[in-house]
Structure 1
Amino acid sequence: MMKNEKKGFLLPPAVGYSFQVIVYLFANHLVSFRFLLRTIITLLINVINWPFRVYEKLFINKKYKSGELEKAPIFIIGHWRSGTTHLHNILCQDKQMAYVSTFQSVFPDTLFNKLGRFIFEGFARILIPGTRKGDNVQLGTGLPQEEEFALGDKTPISFYYFWMFPRSIHTFFQRCVRFAGVKETAVDAWKSDYRLMINKALKDSGGQRFLSKNPPNTGRIEKILEMFPNAKFIHIHRNPVEVFLSTQNFFNKMLPHLQLQTIDAELLTKAIFDLYKDIMHDYLEQSPKVPKGQLVEISFEALEKNPQLSIKTIYEELNVSGYEKSIAFMESYLDSKKSYQKNTHQMTRELLAKIQSEWGFAMKHWSYDIPANIEFIDE
């Protein structure tokens, strides 16, 4: 255990969702009996939060629904476990960057209601553990977080519903990333909710340019450009072999704290293989449509080896000002993380062969070989 690590526990993001979304989720997805108590607690907190959500929706949200962004938003994309969180935390040291906080991601409509925020953020500070279960990343209510948790709070479109109902991960991907079978009115509502969330994040974090870190957007480039034609994208990629091992470890450690439904280990492994193929193929298909100067690609390996060079490349290729003013803050942050211990992984040669077979297209595209530090174990 890390020094001074605060213990705590996580609850499913449904604690802050609208009743409309709650009804959709529980009417269409089965709750496993072993998670019945967790479900009851989640719904109880949701009911307690209800009047605060209603107040903010009626009297506060309208202030943030309109208005164009002064600066082009930046979207960090890439498959899970590819370094998106690390890069997001580094770039958020730039004072101009606005972001969705962990608290906003769970209670997006209890953000500017003073009494509601005092109550729920106070409880969240007590309950949230010091580090994330899957990878030891620091947690805190005010720290940067990916917005996918909040995107489904009013309109039932969020890929992260799968954390609660993992058996439907494929269905959620098709519906919430590819928008398959979703009515245009629902897509428009999702876009409106997204803009609202961004405007509130700008106010809440005090930044001038919104910086997103949201892996599902790796497959939504076209939709993002429909909303923000001048949007800038940073795609970070990592050796697929390490991505698989890290994703498997992360899911295995995080799901027990968020799920409301059991899932077979074999089914979860298949979902990991399918998810990578689907979202990376979508990225490779959509990324050429990004206008010149609005997309930069970096590797996790390069970011680890020379973070200053990778960061400078991002600012220069996307024509974003502020590098010289912010690099000292970023270097200070990087120095504070030097003691961070990454998870170690082992694998069988059979698993390696499957990864090469299933994800070989990505290894070829980004010129990845078998990592030298992989430790093989017997079958």
Structure 2
Amino acid sequence: MSKNGVKAKEVGGYRDRPWIPRFWDGITFWGWVKVMADHRFKIAPRRLGMAILITLIGLFNSFLALIQKLVYGRKIARTALVDDPIFIIGHWRSGTTLLHEMFILDPRFGFPDSYACFAPNHFLVSRWFLAPLVGLLMPKMRPIDNMPFDWNRPQEDEFALCNMGVPSPYLSLIFPNEPPRYDAYLTLENVPQRELERWKKAFLTFLKAVTIQSGKRIVLKSPPHTCRIKVLLEMFPRAKFVHIYRDPLAVYPSTINLWKRLSKDEALQVPHYQGLEERVLTTFCRMYEAFERARPLVPTGQLAEVSYEALVADPEREMERLYRELDLGDFETIRPRLREFIAERSNYKRNKFELDPAVQREIAHRWRFFFEKYGYPLPESHDLASAPTPSRTSSSRPA
């Protein structure tokens, strides 16, 4: 058992190599310099080579960004979205990627793929020559699980924002030993209006560029959007939201594993992981308190929910229900593709984790509101009679 009370039996992933591209290899020069300056260039000596390489690549990204602006700038500005997006929301490691993969089986929907999120500043002009070259260096699996990876697969749009130089909580991965500097951008609730408008403009610009590429209604997946529903509805009043949730005793260790692996691979510091457990516990509460505050703002018929366990047990039934509740059109369009997708993943192996009983008690104490709301059994070994339930989070079962 590790010091954080989590014992992992991992499958899939890849062994890190110096030549494997980093998430930040698509960022512009000034965006990269700003992140390093915000953290006072506290770079570990052994990561100095990575910092220099990304800086040089940033100059190349800035040049290509200028080319895309000259070629596509006016077209992007004039482009209208086909319809307001469909947002896949939920905490990290709750099944958002799986659900995203299922939705984009529908040929009526578009999505930001991994290359667009890797190179948001220039993917419209560079895909034809740069994606194949960089693809030769890319691993075939995601770093944290057995999910396959390639440029054409869907990706979190949050990484696109990072590479566009927009503040994001994900940028804290670069300097994991420093206090988080961009936490306000998780919920966007306390971001100054001027900076919020900049965030909205960058996000919309990216979605317009994706629309030029796909010409379809966009399905997006990014866990931070779970906290941003108020802002997203201001931008997209007809947006649809699909919330996926999972047993907290599975979410916690998998999230710890996620942040440890990404910090290890992507950081300019050698991570010591101090405070990681508390950060995961606190962020979960922040996310769902913000989600419950915004829930009443969502118009009827624009929010549907599904548990990870139900989705895995009967994907076809749950996806058909989601289509019906959100009025997404004829489900028969997707049914044959979904069955093929399910068959291809029949041998998928998930990471397995064991939790120390003391850690289970802490999770049950801090996240009791979630266990109760979504009907997950509390660990029997803990007396939770006095455990607090956040007042802003409903404890009723979902309909």
- Please report the TM-score for the alignment, with normalisation by the length of structure 2: 0.86
The structure 1 residue matched to 2:166, chosen from 152, 156, 177, is 156
1:70-119 CA distance string (max 9 Å, x none): 32310000000000000000111111111111111010122121xx3344
Contact kept in structure 2, 1:82 and 1:238, CA below 8 Å: yes
CA drift at 1:20 = 3.4
Contact kept in structure 1, 2:227 and 2:288, CA below 8 Å: yes
| Mean CA deviation greater in 76-85 or 90-99 | 90-99
Contact kept in structure 2, 1:101 and 1:141, CA below 8 Å: yes
d(CA) in 2 for partners of 1:41, 1:20:
14
Q: Which residue of 2 aligns with 1:98?
A: 110
d(CA) in 1 for partners of 2:20, 2:282:
27
Q: Which residue of 2 aligns with 1:88?
A: 100
Q: Which residue of 2 aligns with 1:323?
A: 331
Contact kept in structure 2, 1:11 and 1:257, CA below 8 Å: no
Q: Which residue of 1 aligns with 2:391?
A: none
Pairing 1:238–2:250 present: no
Q: Which residue of 2 aligns with 1:56?
A: 68
1:153-184 CA distance string (max 9 Å, x none): 3353222212212245743222x123365332
Q: Which residue of 2 aligns with 1:210?
A: 218
d(CA) in 1 for partners of 2:314, 2:268:
41
Contact kept in structure 1, 2:174 and 2:269, CA below 8 Å: yes
Aligned in 2, Cα 1:325/1:233: closer, same or farther, shift over 3 Å?
Answer: same
Flag structure 1 segments of 5+ consecutive residues without an equivalent.
373-379
CA drift at 1:189 = 2.0
Residue 332 of structure 1: SS of its match in structure 2?
A: helix
Q: Which residue of 2 aligns with 1:186?
A: 195
Q: Which residue of 1 aligns with 2:134?
A: 124
Pairing 1:69–2:81 present: yes
Q: Which residue of 1 aligns with 2:359?
A: 351
1:158-214 CA distance string (max 9 Å, x none): 22212212245743222x12336533222212212211211222232x352100001
The structure 1 residue matched to 2:287, chosen from 279, 289, 292, is 279
One-letter amino acid matched to 2:99:
L
Contact kept in structure 1, 2:311 and 2:318, CA below 8 Å: yes
CA drift at 1:309 = 1.1
Contact kept in structure 2, 1:11 and 1:258, CA below 8 Å: no
d(CA) in 2 for partners of 1:364, 1:186:
37
Contact kept in structure 2, 1:6 and 1:130, CA below 8 Å: no
d(CA) in 2 for partners of 1:355, 1:126:
41
Pairing 1:111–2:123 present: yes
Flag structure 2 segments of 5+ consecutive residues without an equivalent.
1-9, 381-399
The structure 2 residue matched to 1:35, chosen from 47, 59, 64, is 47
One-letter amino acid matched to 1:235:
H
Q: Which residue of 2 aligns with 1:171?
A: 181
Q: Which residue of 2 aligns with 1:376?
A: none
Q: Which residue of 1 aligns with 2:153?
A: 143
One-letter amino acid matched to 1:21:
G
Q: Mapping of 1:7-22 within 5 angstroms? A: 10-22=20-32
Residue 265 of structure 1: SS of its match in structure 2?
A: coil
Aligned in 2, Cα 1:241/1:71: closer, same or farther, shift over 3 Å?
Answer: same
CA drift at 1:6 = 10
d(CA) in 2 for partners of 1:254, 1:25:
17
d(CA) in 2 for partners of 1:295, 1:264:
39
| Mean CA deviation greater in 136-145 or 251-260 | 251-260
Q: Which residue of 2 aligns with 1:198?
A: 207
Contact kept in structure 2, 1:148 and 1:214, CA below 8 Å: yes
d(CA) in 2 for partners of 1:215, 1:10:
25
d(CA) in 2 for partners of 1:53, 1:274:
37
Contact kept in structure 2, 1:95 and 1:207, CA below 8 Å: no
Contact kept in structure 2, 1:65 and 1:192, CA below 8 Å: no
Count of matched residue pairs? 368
d(CA) in 2 for partners of 1:135, 1:295:
28
Q: Percent identity?
A: 28
Residue 195 of structure 1: SS of its match in structure 2?
A: helix
d(CA) in 2 for partners of 1:41, 1:85:
30
- What is the CA RMSD across the aligned residues, in angstroms? 2.3
Aligned in 2, Cα 1:264/1:244: closer, same or farther, shift over 3 Å?
Answer: same
d(CA) in 2 for partners of 1:207, 1:6:
37
| Mean CA deviation greater in 304-313 or 163-172 | 163-172
Q: Which residue of 1 aligns with 2:341?
A: 333
Aligned in 2, Cα 1:42/1:20: closer, same or farther, shift over 3 Å?
Answer: closer
Residue 264 of structure 1: SS of its match in structure 2?
A: coil
Q: Which residue of 2 aligns with 1:255?
A: 263
Residue 242 of structure 2: SS of its match in structure 1?
A: strand
Contact kept in structure 2, 1:7 and 1:130, CA below 8 Å: no
Contact kept in structure 2, 1:65 and 1:195, CA below 8 Å: no
| Mean CA deviation greater in 234-243 or 68-77 | 68-77
Residue 47 of structure 2: SS of its match in structure 1?
A: helix
